[in-house]
Every structure is written in C-alpha cells, then in structure tokens.
C-alpha cells in the first residue's frame, strides 16, 4: 500500500513527456483543457469583481441617498458572507455527486444575482437592501468546490495557515473597501472621478501582480515558501504604515462648499444630486475626525497601493501553495473548503470593520489597527515557522 501511494505522489498530473499511449495523451489534453477553462473563468470573475468593487460606493449613493459608509461595509461583506456559507455546502455536494452539478448550480446563481444587482435601482424603496441581498447571492454563487482529504495532517500547521490566510484576506478586504471612500474624502474627488482614477490604479496593480507572481515563483524556489510569505507580510505592513496621516495639512471639509457657495445654498438637495457640477466634494462634516486628522496625500496613497500590490499577491499565492503542501498530495477536500471559508469570513468582517472604524474614528485608527494585525501575523508565522512544512517532508519522503 505505501508503494502505491508513493508511486501516485511521484506521478505528475501534467507530464512533460510524450512517451505515453493514446489514452494517456487524451487524458493529458483533457486536463489541460479543463485548466485553461478555469483560467478563463477566473479571469472573467476577477474582471467583474474589479468593476464592481471600484464603482459600488458611487452606485450605492446614487440609488439610495440614505446609505452611508458604514452600510457600504455590509454591502461589500455580503459577497464574502455568501461565499463563506456556500463553500462547505458545495464542497460536501461535490464529494457525493459529480462535480459538474454544483459547478453549474453556482454559475446559474452567480449570473442571476449579477442581473439582480444591475437592476437594484428599479424598486421605489429600500434599494440599499436590495443591493445587499444581491451581493450576498453573487458571493453564494462564487463559492469554491472542494474534495475530501483522507491523509493525516499537522492540525497546528493547518489551523495556523487558516489564521494567516484570514489575516491576509482581511487586510486586502479593508484596502479594497476603503480605497474609493478614502480617495473621495482626502482628494475631494467626485463619484465619477473616484471610479475612474481608482479603476486605473487597480488596473495598474493588476499588471503589477502579474510581475509579482512571476518573481514569487522564482523566489520561492530559491528561498522557500515561508520566507516569501514573511517578506510579503512585511511589505504589506510598510504599505499601511505609509497610509497613516501625518503633517498639518487637513482635508477639504464638504460643508465648506455649502457654506461658501450661495448658489448651492439656494437650490434643493435633489438638484445638487442630479447636477454633477454641484456635487459636494471633500470629507463629510458628519465625520468629525475630518476636522482634526491630517490629510493623506496622493503620493502616500499611490505609494501604499504599490506596496500592497506587491505584498498581497505574494502572501496570497504563498498561502495557497504552503497550505496545499501541508495537506499533502491526495485530494485536499473539505480542508480547502475551510480555507476558502476562512478567507470569505475575513472578507465579510474586513469591510464591516473598516467602514465603522473609518467613519467613527478616521484613517489613523483604522490603519494603525491594521498595522498591529500584520505585526501579529508576522509573530504568529515566526512562532510556528518550523511546523509549516510540506507533507512529504514531514513524513520523510523528501527533504526541504
């Protein structure tokens, strides 16, 4: 029995040789077709998510003027909450039924929910709650499908990996949620400008991430997975530390427009909303911290984007890679479902956390707490560093 397991472990799923028979060649081609389909699917999913995340705050303000930044956190979190609930369900479903069934079901739910999201402006009332529900169903349909694992594993390493992945996803959820409101408050951008400029920034971060993935592949082979993960966390810490407000320059307060512009004071709120030239810009006076917290400069914002754009993809890919190696060569099952669930939980709590802390206390408190969380992740990784090793290394089949 051990000889069979070793043989299976040493047999690559995707060969480089052409010496097999026709059946094996066809199986090889079929696997690559499946992988390319999944690449394309993930590409479309990522494009759609990027479009939504950059425009969700202006869209929410447009369809329901009662929505505030705190509610934005719940809307963003709804996606991951739906994903967190659905991941174990689809994982168990795929264990007992053909994997095509839950896959088709998830795609159908995802498409239907996105159509619902596109038309949440139609109801006469409670539009923000329609958006909340639609995002939850989009997340439910985006859940990952996993299989059961039958190997004995190091549960401390598994738990630690889940916690680290939770922190990484929590931090990025905070970043992607707060980027648009932060830029509108600090740089007095209009809704249209915020969507455009943040879209350009995220596009650049996407290209940056491609380069990071290529570098990470080489770096992990030379230095190992754990050092790369540790370096990624350190870079993320630097990114959020740079975002901390400094100096004696303060953001433009939104009420100054209403106070100093006699034209605006004579027209109704509805007119202001419908006419983009009179759209109030700056930090809302309801956020009292705007009056005493220094502004974040555009150079700080761009620098933080660049650093987080390097640190996050490195941590993300290393988290998955390290976790899969810890689990072993067999089908990795529900454990992968739980990893997805932990990431979804982080993306549920992150937006809620940052929207409330940012609205009430401001960016200094929000980003200071994130920096403390990253330091905690670095300390946790360092404390269990020796246990985060591959399954084959732990069982003496290979050496590090």
Residues 342 and 231 placed together within one structural domain of the fold? yes
Q: Over 60: is that where the pLDDT of 142 sits? A: yes
What is the average pLDDT across 4-33? 55
Residue 102 has pLDDT above 90, yes or no: no
Name the least confident of 67-81, 181-195, 298-312.
Answer: 67-81
Say if residue 222 is in the same domain as residue 303: yes
Instruction: List pLDDT tens digits, range 82-93.
Output: 877 887 777 777
d(CA 165, CA 318): 10
Tokens representing 117 are 């999201």
Query: What's the DSSP call for residue 121?
Result: T
Q: Which residue has the higher pLDDT, 333 or 32?
A: 32
Q: What are the residues whose beta carbons fall under 8 Å from the beta carbon of 383, sequence distance 6 or more?
A: none
pLDDT at 309: 93
pLDDT at 2 over 60: no
- Residue 267 in any domain: the answer is no
Q: Is the pLDDT reported for residue 290 higher than 50?
A: yes
Q: 140-156: string of b/e by CB count within 10 Å (b at 16+)?
A: bbbbbbbbbbeeeebee
**Which residues make Cβ contacts (< 8 Å) with residue 327, sequence separation at least 6?**
149, 151, 153, 158, 335, 336, 391
Using a 10 angstrom Cβ sphere, with 0-12 exposed, 13-18 middle and 19 or more buried, the burial of residue 364 is middle
State whether 304 and 376 are in the same domain. Answer: yes
User: Among 173, 177, 166, 108, which residue's Cα sits nearest to residue 137?
Assistant: 108
15 located within any domain: no
Residue finishing a domain among 98, 133, 148: 148
Please spell the DSSP secondary structure of 183-234, one letter per residue. HHHHH---HHHHHHHHHHHHHHHHHHHHHHHHHHHHHHHHH-HHHHHHHHHH
Residue 270 lies in a domain: no
Same domain, 102 and 186: no
What is the rounded CA–CA span in Å between residue 270 and residue 343? 40
Cβ(165)–Cβ(141) below 8 Å: no
- Element housing 289 (H / E): none
Assigned domain for 122 exists = yes
- How many CB atoms are located within 10 Å of the residue 261 CB? 13
Which tops the pLDDT comparison, 98 or 320?
Answer: 320
Helix (H, G, I), strand (E, B) or coil at 148: strand
Instruction: Answer with the residue of higher pLDDT: 158 or 34.
Output: 158
Q: What local confidence, expressed as pLDDT, does residue 255 receive?
A: 65
Regarding whether 93 and 200 lie in a shared domain, the answer is: no
| Rounded Cα distance, 370 and 363, in Å | 10
For residue 9, the SS3 value is: helix
329 and 367 belong to one structural domain: yes
CA gap 51, 113 in Å, rounded: 15
In whole angstroms, give the CA distance from residue 22 to residue 346. Answer: 46
Please report which confidence band the pLDDT of residue 144 belongs to, taking 50, 70 and 90 as the band edges: low
Residue partners of 147: CB distance under 8 A and separation at least 6: 91, 94, 95, 331, 332, 333, 334, 336
Higher pLDDT, 134 or 260: 134
Residue 294 lies in a domain: yes
Distance CA 24, CA 28 (A): 6
- Distance CA(245)–CA(251), nearest Å, equals 11
Domain boundary among 113, 148, 183: 148
138 and 187 inside one domain: no
**Tokens found for residue 347:** 């993306």
Taking the C-alpha atoms of residue 236 and residue 319, their distance in angstroms, rounded to an integer, is 14
What average pLDDT does range 16-22 have in this prediction?
49
CATH, residue 171 = 1.20.1250.20
Mind listing the pLDDT tens digit for each residue in 180-215?
899 999 999 998 899 899 999 988 998 999 999 999
Q: What is the pLDDT of residue 48?
A: 76
Q: Check whether residue 109 and residue 160 sit in a common domain.
A: no
Last residue of a domain, one of 126, 148, 170: 148
Domain residues for the domain of 128 are 26-148
143 and 161 housed in the same domain: no
Instruction: Write down the pLDDT at residue 37.
Output: 76
317 located within any domain: yes
Task: Give the pLDDT score at 333.
Answer: 59
Residues 311-359 have pLDDT tens digits of 999 999 999 888 888 887 665 556 777 787 788 888 888 888 988 899 8
pTM equals: 0.69
Domain count, the chain: 2
Asked whether residue 89 falls in the same domain as residue 211, the answer is no
Question: For all residues of the chain together, what is the average pLDDT?
Answer: 80
Residue with the larger pLDDT of the pair 122 and 276: 122
**Over 70: is that where the pLDDT of 147 sits?**
no
The DSSP output letter for 239 is: H
| Claim to verify: residue 92 and residue 74 sit in the same structural domain | yes
Length of the chain, please?
400
Asked whether residue 329 is assigned to any structural domain, the reply reads yes
d(CA 76, CA 399): 43
* Position 92 in a domain: yes
Q: Which is it for the CA torsion 372, 375, 379, 381, positive or negative?
A: positive
Same structural domain for residues 164 and 90? no
Token pair, residue 301, equals 């914002």
């Amino acid at each position: 029995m051990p000889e069979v397991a070793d043989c299976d472990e040493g047999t690559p799923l995707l060969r480089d040789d052409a010496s097999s028979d026709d059946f094996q060649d066809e199986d090889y081609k079929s696997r690559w077709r499946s992988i390319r389909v999944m690449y394309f699917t993930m590409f479309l999913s990522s494009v759609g998510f990027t479009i939504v995340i950059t425009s969700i705050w202006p869209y929410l303000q447009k369809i329901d003027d009662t929505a505030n930044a705190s509610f934005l956190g719940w809307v963003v979190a709804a996606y991951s909450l739906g994903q967190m609930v659905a991941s174990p369900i689809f994982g168990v479903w795929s264990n007992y039924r053909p994997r095509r069934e839950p896959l088709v079901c998830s795609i159908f739910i995802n498409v239907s929910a996105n159509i619902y999201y596109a038309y949440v402006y139609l109801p006469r009332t409670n539009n923000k709650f329609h958006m909340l529900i639609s995002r939850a169903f989009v997340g439910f349909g985006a859940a990952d499908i996993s299989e059961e694992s039958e190997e004995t594993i190091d549960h401390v390493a598994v738990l630690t990996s889940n916690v680290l992945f939770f922190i990484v996803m929590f931090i990025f959820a905070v970043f992607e949620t707060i980027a648009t409101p932060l830029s509108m408050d600090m740089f007095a951008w209009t809704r249209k400008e915020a969507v455009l400029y943040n879209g350009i920034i995220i596009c650049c971060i996407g290209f940056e991430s491609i380069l990071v993935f290529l570098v990470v592949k080489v770096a992990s082979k030379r230095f190992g997975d754990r050092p790369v993960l540790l370096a990624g966390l350190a870079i993320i810490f630097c990114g959020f530390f740079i975002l901390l407000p400094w100096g004696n320059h303060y953001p433009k307060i939104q009420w100054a427009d209403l106070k100093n512009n006699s034209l605006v004071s004579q027209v109704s709120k509805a007119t202001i909303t419908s006419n983009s030239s009179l759209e109030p810009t700056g930090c809302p006076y309801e956020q009292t911290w705007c009056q005493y917290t220094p502004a974040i400069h555009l150079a700080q914002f761009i620098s933080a984007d660049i650093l987080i754009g390097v640190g996050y993809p490195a941590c993300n890919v290393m988290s998955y890679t390290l976790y899969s190696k810890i689990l072993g060569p067999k089908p990795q099952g529900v454990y992968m479902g739980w990893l997805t669930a932990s990431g979804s939980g982080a993306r549920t709590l992150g937006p809620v956390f940052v929207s409330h802390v940012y609205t009430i206390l401001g960016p200094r408190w929000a980003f200071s707490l994130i920096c403390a969380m990253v330091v905690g992740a670095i300390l946790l990784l360092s404390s269990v560093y020796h246990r985060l090793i591959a399954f084959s290394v732990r069982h003496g089949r290979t050496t590090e």
